[in-house]
Chain A
Amino acid sequence: ETGVTQTPRHLVMGMTNKKSLKCEQHLGHNAMYWYKQSAKKPLELMFVYSLEERVENNSVPSRFSPECPNSSHLFLHLHTLQPEDSALYLCASSQRSGESFGQETQYFGPGTRLLVL
């Protein structure tokens, strides 16, 4: 496996279900991201983990709960979602350093297409 992988690729869930999205990066990077992509809207940054510590939480509802057990894996735990949460959820990774000043390239996974009924 190379790059950034995500599972599952597609997920349909009811509003009362609990599910988890998984992301794995094989690039040796030290930062991982969750984004939400809705039709005709910009990518919305949800969470950033750097060296396994959460460094950013963009006012995301508590029904989304991230977990980063190590620098290669990132999870997004979902519970009691709403239909408006249906979207493509993208994971990305990058190599951050003290001198990168935001110029590090983010590498994206293929995404998980989520439908909440």
Chain B
Amino acid sequence: QKEVEQDPGPLSVPEGAIVSLNCTYSNSAFQYFMWYRQYSRKGPELLMYTYSSGNKEDGRFTAQVDKSSKYISLFIRDSQPSDSATYLCAMSGVAGGFKTIFGAGTRLFVKA
């Protein structure tokens, strides 16, 4: 079983839609959860960072962590064509020497 599972997509939505991106994980020792956005021909950039369970909101983006289900989500409200990118979930914690483990990424297309 992979440590982090993420559907690679692609996910195609119309402009203005609410987008839900998800990851599941197997290691209950993960404590820190991150979402990176990667545009074509660019490196990943940190979008959101959360610690433990709960929600965190930043503008149109909401990150949600459910540690009991080992499930994290990123919601994008009022999606824009400029949100078209690959979204990578990542997590780290006590286990594995605090190594950051990445998901494979979900490719998102927002159509104008």
Interface on A for B, CB 8 Å cutoff? 4, 6, 40-43, 45, 56, 90, 92, 100-103, 105-111, 113
Any chain A CB within 8 A of the CB of B56? no
C-alpha gap A92/B6 in the complex (Å): 22
Contact A45 B42 (CB under 8 A): no
The A interface, classified by DSSP as helix, strand, loop or mixed, is loop
- Chain B: minimal CB distance from A47 (Å): 12
Contact A43 B51 (CB under 8 A): no
Within 8 A of A (CB), among B39-88: 41-46, 49, 51, 88
Contact A102 B43 (CB under 8 A): no
- Name the contact of B43 in the complex, choosing from A41, A42, A90 (C-beta under 8 A): A90
C-alpha gap A16/B89 in the complex (Å): 36
Name the residue on B nearest A35 (C-beta): B102
C-alpha gap A100/B104 in the complex (Å): 25
Any chain A CB within 8 A of the CB of B17? no
Interface on B for A, CB 8 Å cutoff? 2, 4, 6, 8, 31-32, 34, 36, 41-46, 49, 51, 88, 92-94, 97-105
C-alpha gap A44/B36 in the complex (Å): 15
Name the residue on B nearest A94 (C-beta): B100
Name the residue on B nearest A102 (C-beta): B98
- Name the contact of A103 in the complex, choosing from B6, B44, B51, B97 (C-beta under 8 A): B51
Contact B43 A109 (CB under 8 A): yes
C-alpha gap A92/B42 in the complex (Å): 12
Contact B102 A102 (CB under 8 A): no
The 6 closest A-B pairs by CB, nearest first: A102-B98, A108-B43, A102-B92, A43-B102, A103-B32, A42-B102
- Name the contact of B32 in the complex, choosing from A41, A43, A102, A113 (C-beta under 8 A): A102
Contact A110 B42 (CB under 8 A): yes
B-chain residues with CB within 8 Å of residue A42 when the two chains form the complex: 2, 4, 6, 101-105
Contact B94 A101 (CB under 8 A): yes
